[in-house]
A and B are shown apart, each in its own frame.
Chain A
């Protein structure tokens, strides 16, 4: 894809809000930078452009987000919508969450003796054996639930396609944001909560490509309601659909493009993950 992280973002000569406003030269700059050029052999490989979101901490050295955009792999972020694949992935995930601990006692497990309740003939009533038959009050349950495993299997490639479809859907609905990096300098939750409110990032799932513990990001965000942070490895289709907004950092974008991309290998450059 791109030779380095810095090449991924290119200075544009004017402010852009909508990607349609980009002039053709600007688009060409970005395309050339990303090496995935719209050639006759690969018409579907035009990169998708998304402007950067303002980060938590804006340092003077950092590029101003309004002037930058990110070129994204279209096979990951511009996938056609497939609601049935999303349905499969979500149902598979919810199946795996089921505890499956419903249990009932059969006639063999109900406490009681095996003595015949009344004689076979002569009482005028129906014939009965032991007192735990499901026919009787206080007897066992016939064909009742037993603890079982409700998890199902889904081919790995279907799940990967689900991730591609979900990410593309989020981007298409303009609910996906990319920040330069997701770092907060101290462990003060109050100040981060204020910054998140200022950015309008409530009800957002943050995806950070770095490890969570060294950054302490998880600890800071833990007590902020309607906000959560995950690593890209743990991200699943259900979460992407559930959270109204998704914000990731550039390293997470790298991770998704490395693991999910379907662009031909000759047009990809393998990037070492940090």
Chain B
């Protein structure tokens, strides 16, 4: 058998990097031949040629900077809520694709909407809106933070049920996580108590709403107690 020509042995001395993988560092101020000698790429005199951090960010040489040209306006409401909107059209499309399913025992909540990709971020809660209500075919069982009037009427026309429930930050996290052992806090602000106590909004503290959903397994007994306690203002 003819001896094969062997490749030179691989030793520590015969290693080299892949060609083109290593670029030489730019070293300024090291003679004219490098192209970066003399003033080292800084030009002639002026603030920019000096050492140090230079003018502060946003400084425009004395001209009124763009950040100062226009007056301040208004305030930012710290209590404002950002609802993540989702239209009925989108929910129906997701159901048609098989990415969402709704049944009387397992309603659609923020968790299902987020995990299926119907909603990309829950923000402060989900609001069901009524765009494309004509395309809704299935009877939906949905629990959300808010719902528009057209969405409520469209869902109930098709035989579904909507419930608007108050979620504070912690309750929303627990809903998205899917944990069963936590008790969600009741609303504390007057505006929230009033809103969720109205059947017009399908709020979970409204006795009429709870009565219409009585047969469903996911309705909490505690909500009835809360409805009575937090609804006491109506009779005062």
Interface residues of A (CB under 8 A from B): 20, 81, 83-84, 86-88, 90, 166, 169, 173, 238, 241-242
Contact = CB atoms under 8 A, between A and B. Distances in A.
A90 B15 contact: yes
B17 interface: yes
Contacts of A81: 7, 10
Interface string B8-25: 011110111110010000
Given A20-B1, A84-B18, A84-B21, A241 B12 contact: yes
A87 B10 contact: no
Interface of B: 1, 6-7, 9-12, 14-18, 21
A166 B21 CA distance: 21
Contacts of A84: 16-18, 21
Most A CB contacts (10 A, CB to CB) among B10, B12, B17 go to B10
Contacts of A238: 12
A173 B9 contact: yes
19 contacts: A20-B1, A81-B7, A81-B10, A83-B10, A83-B14, A83-B15, A84-B16, A84-B18, A84-B21, A86-B10, A87-B15, A87-B16, A88-B17, A90-B15, A173-B9, A173-B10, A238-B12, A241-B12, A241-B15
A261 B104 CA distance: 51
Contacts of A20: 1
A136 to B, nearest CB: 19
A210 to B, nearest CB: 28
Nearest to B19: A84
A235 to B, nearest CB: 15
Most B CB contacts (10 A, CB to CB) among A81, A87, A166, A242 go to A87
Nearest to A88: B17
A169 B17 contact: no
Nearest to A83: B15
A90 B14 CA distance: 12
Contacts of A83: 10, 14-16
Contacts of A242: 12
B11 A241 contact: yes
A173 B8 CA distance: 9
Contacts of B17: 84, 87-88
Contacts of B10: 81, 83, 86, 166, 169, 173, 241
Nearest to A168: B10
A169 B15 CA distance: 13
B25 to A, nearest CB: 15
Nearest to B7: A81
Nearest to A175: B9
A242 B13 CA distance: 9
A90 B1 contact: no
Most B CB contacts (10 A, CB to CB) among A81, A90, A241 go to A241
A79 to B, nearest CB: 12
Nearest to B16: A87
Contacts of B14: 83
A241 B14 CA distance: 10
A104 B1 CA distance: 64
A134 B14 CA distance: 42
Contacts of B11: 241
A123 B62 CA distance: 40
A169 B201 CA distance: 74
Contacts of A86: 10, 15
- List of 5 A-B pairs having minimum Cβ-Cβ separation, nearest first: A84-B18, A87-B15, A169-B10, A87-B17, A241-B12
Nearest to A166: B10
A33 B120 CA distance: 53
B27 to A, nearest CB: 13
A238 B11 CA distance: 10
Contacts of B15: 83, 86-87, 90, 241
A61 to B, nearest CB: 36
Nearest to A169: B10
Contacts of B7: 81
A173 B17 CA distance: 21
Most B CB contacts (10 A, CB to CB) among A20, A81, A83 go to A83
A83 B1 CA distance: 29
A11 B14 CA distance: 39
Nearest to B1: A20
Contacts of A87: 15-18
Contacts of A241: 10-12, 15
Given A20-B1, A84-B17, A238-B12, 10 more contacts: A83-B15, A84-B16, A84-B21, A86-B15, A87-B17, A90-B15, A166-B10, A169-B10, A241-B11, A241-B12
